[in-house]
Amino acid sequence: MEYSEKVMEHFATPHNVGKIEDADGIGEVGNAKCGDIMKMYIKVQDGIITDVKFNTYGCASAIATSSMATDMIKGKPIEDALKLTNQAVVEALDGLPAVKIHCSVLAEEAIKAAVKDYYDKNGISYDPALFQEDSCHYDHHHAE
Ligand code: FES
């Protein structure tokens, strides 16, 4: 299996690993394909994600995509974080082996779950369609 240099880099020294004790939102998701778990913590101020950390029992690809995904949403408005797709993350990593694409979905779903938790805790209303369960944007073109 071939991993891109960026994947190897992010796996070897992942960014934003850990836990935020006073997180404003926490999302936990499991991967139906492999049973791996991801926990995501966000800090939110004035609609901006000021800090984000993750913890996972996932594989190398899950760690690399979470590292990249958290980098991509840190300091950004919540709306941007919600638009982040696993596809964009995989692209930023210069691709993932096709059999590992499902791993990249964990980061996206955990981020969404954390935002939903933040909305729920703060009584912020949202369009439930944003959080529908089917994240079926697997795109094998970016997986070479
Ligand atoms: Fe489970 Fe990659 S094999 S997240």
Domain assignments of the chain as residue spans, ordered by start = 5-121
Classified as helix, coil or strand, 49 is strand
Q: 114-125 pLDDT, tens per residue?
A: 999 999 999 999
| Three-state SS at 13 | coil
Beta bridge partners of 61: none
Residue 59 alpha carbon, nearest atom of ligand 1: 2
Residues 71-86: pLDDT tens digits?
999 999 999 999 999 9
Catalytic residues: 34, 103
The model's confidence at residue 137, banded by pLDDT at 50, 70 and 90, is very low
Tokens standing for 79? Answer: 């709306």
Tokens representing 99 are 């059999």
Residue whose tokens read 């995989």: 90
Which numbered atom of ligand 1 lies nearest the CA of 61? Answer: 2
Predicted TM-score of the model (pTM):
0.89
Mean pLDDT score across all residues of the chain: 91
CATH of domain 5-121: 3.90.1010.10
**Beta-strand pair 25-30/37-45:** antiparallel
Distance from residue 45's CA to the centre of ligand 1 (Å): 32
N residues, the chain: 144
Cα–Cα dist 66/60, whole Å: 10
How far does the centroid of ligand 1 lie from the alpha carbon of residue 63, in Å? 9
| Sheet hosting strand 37-45, strand order edge to edge | 25-30, 37-45, 48-56
| Strand partners of residue 56 | 38
Rounded Cα gap, residues 89 and 1, in angstroms: 19
Residue from 1, 38, 61 whose mutation best tests the ligand 1 pocket (most atoms within 8 A of CB)? 61
> Of 104, 106, 93, 98, which is closest to residue 1 (Cα–Cα)?
98
Q: How confident is the model at residue 23 (pLDDT cuts 50, 70, 90)?
A: very high
> How many other CB atoms are found less than 10 A from the CB of residue 90?
29
**d(CA 43, ligand 1 centre) in Å:** 26
